Amino acid sequence: MGDLLCSSTFFGVFISIMGYELGLFLKKTFKKAVFNPLLISIIFVIIVLLIFHVDYGSYNNSAKYLSYLLTPATVCLAIPLYEQLELLKRNVKAIITGIVSGVLTSIGSIFLLSLLFHFTHEQYVTLLPKSITTAIGMGISEELGGIVTITVTVIIVTGVLGNIIAEPICKIFHIEEPIAKGIAIGTAAHAIGTAKAMEMGEIEGAMSSLAIAVAGLMTVVGASIFSNFI
């Protein structure tokens, strides 16, 4: 069974979709934020791989076609953004203020917590780009001397976590303006968070898409300055 699954071309995409469908079903049945379809699908796939002794390389070999679509899909985020361009122009000050404070908060809090845990320079710069989109974050981590595999993992965990907590956080902290919700989600949890923002509404999705690009670019500058501090 394991051999068959390792050599299959469609197994990877198949169990990924199965896991996601299972997540959608659980979410519909129990209506709790913990039953996040993305989280459920990740756990489901990991369990299946462990049970059937399929190594990650074989799984990824057949599931990589999903990742392949990520770049064109990110390009497509320009479309909801274009549809909200007027709204963006009218609120440009609030949007920029929000993203700048978010990026500074992210870098600053990682700096303080790294001091607290006595992190080495290597461990510190590994975490610095954790809130931005994987492709930019990997580049920053590599450039500053971080451990790239951990950076990628932390970025993804951040995104999945942001995807799960987005709705409860907005509710608890009374973030009610759709623009503010979108900017918060995109700045804190990049594209994976944006997938949730898209579900919440058109404005949320567009603003979250914008925040991925702007926060990502600002972090390139911010992280290179802050990397000298530890």
Partner 1 sequence: MKFIKQFGIILSVTFIGEILRFLIPLPIPASIYGLIIMLFVLKIGIVKLEHVKNSAGFLIEIMPLMFIPAAVGILASWEVLKKIYIPIIFITITTTIIVMVVTGRITQYTIRIDKRKEKIHG
Footprint on residues 69-108 left by partner 1 (CB under 8 A):
69-83, 85, 91, 93-95, 97-99, 101-102, 105-106
Q: Within its chain, how far is the Cα of 53 from the centroid?
A: 28
DSSP at 69: T
Applying CB under 8 A, among 34, 51, 113, 115 the residue interacting with partner 1 is 113
Put residue 147 in one of left, alpha, beta given phi > 0 → left and psi -120 to 50 → alpha: beta
Nearer to partner 1, 5 or 91 (CB): 91
Q: Which two tokens stand for residue 189?
A: 């949890």
Min. distance of Cβ 4 from partner 1 in angstroms? 19
Contacts of 31 (CB under 8 A, 6+ apart): none
Instruction: Tell whether residue 58 is a contact of partner 1 (CB under 8 A).
Output: no
Instruction: Tell whether residue 5 is a contact of partner 1 (CB under 8 A).
Output: no
CA-based R_g, the chain, Å:
19
- What string marks each residue from 184 to 223 as x (binds partner 1 by CB under 8 A) or -? xx-xxx-xx-xx--x------x---x-xxx--xx--x---
Put residue 31 in one of left, alpha, beta given phi > 0 → left and psi -120 to 50 → alpha: left
Instruction: Tell whether residue 114 is a contact of partner 1 (CB under 8 A).
Output: yes
In what helix (H) or strand (E) does residue 185 lie, and over which residues does it extend?
helix 178-200
Nearer to partner 1, 9 or 153 (CB): 153
Nearer to partner 1, 5 or 99 (CB): 99
Nearer to partner 1, 121 or 177 (CB): 177
> What values do phi and psi take at 160, rounded to 5?
-65, -45
Contact call for residues 225 and 140 (beta carbons, < 8 A): no
The stretch among 2-10, 26-34, 35-43 that binds partner 1 (CB under 8 A) is 35-43
Residues numbered 125-184 forming contacts with partner 1, rule: CB under 8 A: 127, 130-131, 133-136, 138-140, 142-143, 147, 149-150, 152-154, 156-163, 165-166, 169-170, 173, 175-177, 179-181, 183-184
In whole angstroms, give the CA distance from residue 138 to residue 132: 10
